[in-house]
């Protein structure tokens, strides 16, 4: 088995201070590996990077159209959002239109990542609710599909019809039988696959034709919704949102917890998946930037790129402290 390879370096005062290793794969439309670093067969949990796979049954089944979902709502179904007012209000309206409420969600509550919304809650002495959960958009999609299925309320259970439909779609587009699952932070099962399988799925999303099967058309709608509404996929200041804007909506991106990142490149019909083994988000963001620059879809000097790769790192006084850059041998470095 090939080991993880060095991908991202942190330099300070002329010394290498930290080194992040990982696995990365670029796949073509036919599922073949174009380039790989580390072990393409490394089995991982994709975490939130696979939300567009989890949303496939929602669109493919006709449930999204039956509920009149907009492209912005489809983007939200793939989101790991900030819990900003924009996101909280959108999820609340979505559930009210379904005749449902916050109590129907099974994602749990946590403090919003958005500072303005967090401060508003503190000032008003309010407690965060499940709408603030970064996965509440995905769960609104789950509830929409669940209503279509007329299934039971505990839709996050691994043997629930919804999760079984998601697993079937997941295994189909990754081209692999999942060896199992872990329970994600939002309580839904997260099905394991290889880095290559995840990249293969992203390449399938990238190459899916608008005139293809119901599943193909669902993939097109989801990738287009994400690229057209990056503010719903993550939020202000976040890598997914800023990098999709930087690429003018030509690429759909999604991060996942524990330093997973994926990209869908429809123009090139390529898919990317990467995993930093120590779980460092700063490294996964730098690595995906490096691969997108290598493929010619992201400008190396764009502010969104420089924020995460090859830019000057500064301390709280504004003093230059070092830099974050690609390790030699990775992505052309």
What's the average model confidence in pLDDT over 25-54? 98
Average pLDDT, the chain: 97
> What Rg value do the Cα atoms of the chain yield, rounded?
19
8 A C-beta contact, residue 52 and residue 252: yes
H-type alpha helices, 208-258: 214-228, 230-233, 239-246
Task: Report the alpha-carbon angle 127-184-251, nearest 5.
Answer: 95
The pLDDT score that the predictor gives to residue 257 is 98
pLDDT reading at 1 higher than 70: no
272 forms bridges with which residues in the sheet? 26, 263
- How far is residue 251's CA from residue 203's CA, in Å, rounded to a whole number? 12
Length of the chain: 333
Burial class (CB in 10 A: 0-12, 13-18, 19+), 25: buried
11 forms bridges with which residues in the sheet? 16, 323
Q: What is the SS3 assignment for 295?
A: coil
What's the average model confidence in pLDDT over 107-124? 97
Structural tokens at position 165: 């439909």
The pLDDT score that the predictor gives to residue 148 is 96
Banded pLDDT at 39 (limits 50, 70, 90): very high
Percent of the chain clearing pLDDT 90 (strictly above): 98
Banded pLDDT at 2 (limits 50, 70, 90): confident
Q: What is the maximum alpha-carbon separation in the chain? A: 61
Q: What are phi and psi of 252, to 5 degrees?
A: -100, 130
- How far is residue 200's CA from residue 126's CA, in Å, rounded to a whole number? 44
Structural tokens at position 139: 């769960």
pLDDT reading at 197 higher than 60: yes
Q: Within 13 Å and on the Cβ side, how many CA atoms surround 6?
A: 12
- Alpha carbon distances (Å) from 243 to 237, 247, 262, 304: 10, 6, 12, 6
Banded pLDDT at 333 (limits 50, 70, 90): confident
pTM over 0.95: yes
Banded pLDDT at 332 (limits 50, 70, 90): confident
Relative to beta strand 189-191, strand 181-183 is: antiparallel
- How far is residue 180's CA from residue 171's CA, in Å, rounded to a whole number? 11
| Closest to 82 measured CA to CA, from 223, 279, 239, 245 | 239
Relative to beta strand 270-276, strand 15-27 is: antiparallel
What's the average model confidence in pLDDT over 204-221? 97
What's the average model confidence in pLDDT over 256-275? 98
Instruction: Give me the helix-helix angle, 161-174 and 195-207, nearest 10°.
Output: 90
- Alpha carbon distances (Å) from 184 to 174, 191, 234: 19, 9, 18
- Domain edges within the chain: 40-272
Residue 284, phi-psi category: left (phi > 0), alpha (psi -120 to 50), beta (remainder): alpha
């Amino acid at each position: 088995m090939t080991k993880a390879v060095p991908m991202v370096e942190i330099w300070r005062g002329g010394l290498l201070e930290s080194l992040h290793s990982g696995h990365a794969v670029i796949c073509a439309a036919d599922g073949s590996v174009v380039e790989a670093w580390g072990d393409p067969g490394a089995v991982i949990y994709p975490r939130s990077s696979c939300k567009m796979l989890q949303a496939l049954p929602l669109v493919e089944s006709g449930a999204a159209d039956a509920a009149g979902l907009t492209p912005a709502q489809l983007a939200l179904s793939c989101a790991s959002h900030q819990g900003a007012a924009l996101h909280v209000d959108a999820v609340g309206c979505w559930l009210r239109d379904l005749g449902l409420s916050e109590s129907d969600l099974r994602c749990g509550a946590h403090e919003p990542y958005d500072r303005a919304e967090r401060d508003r809650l503190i000032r008003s002495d309010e407690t965060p609710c499940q709408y603030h959960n970064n996965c509440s958009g995905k769960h609104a999609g789950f509830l929409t599909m669940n209503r279509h299925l007329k299934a039971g309320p505990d839709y996050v259970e691994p043997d629930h019809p919804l999760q079984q439909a998601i697993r079937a779609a997941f295994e189909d587009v990754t081209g692999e039988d999942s060896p199992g699952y872990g329970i994600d932070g939002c309580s839904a099962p997260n099905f394991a696959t290889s880095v290559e399988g995840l990249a293969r799925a992203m390449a399938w999303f990238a190459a899916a034709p608008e005139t293809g099967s119901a599943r193909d058309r669902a993939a097109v709608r989801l990738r287009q919704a994400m690229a057209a509404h990056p503010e719903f996929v993550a939020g202000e200041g976040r890598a997914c949102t800023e990098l999709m804007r930087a690429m003018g909506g030509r690429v759909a991106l999604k991060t996942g917890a524990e330093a997973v990142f994926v990209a869908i490149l429809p123009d090139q019909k390529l898919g990317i998946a990467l995993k930093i083994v120590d779980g460092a988000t700063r490294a996964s963001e730098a690595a995906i930037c490096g691969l997108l620059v290598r493929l010619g879809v992201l400008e190396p000097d764009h502010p969104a790129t420089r924020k995460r790769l090859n830019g000057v790192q500064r301390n709280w006084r504004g003093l230059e402290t070092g830099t974050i850059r690609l390790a030699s041998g990775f992505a052309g470095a």
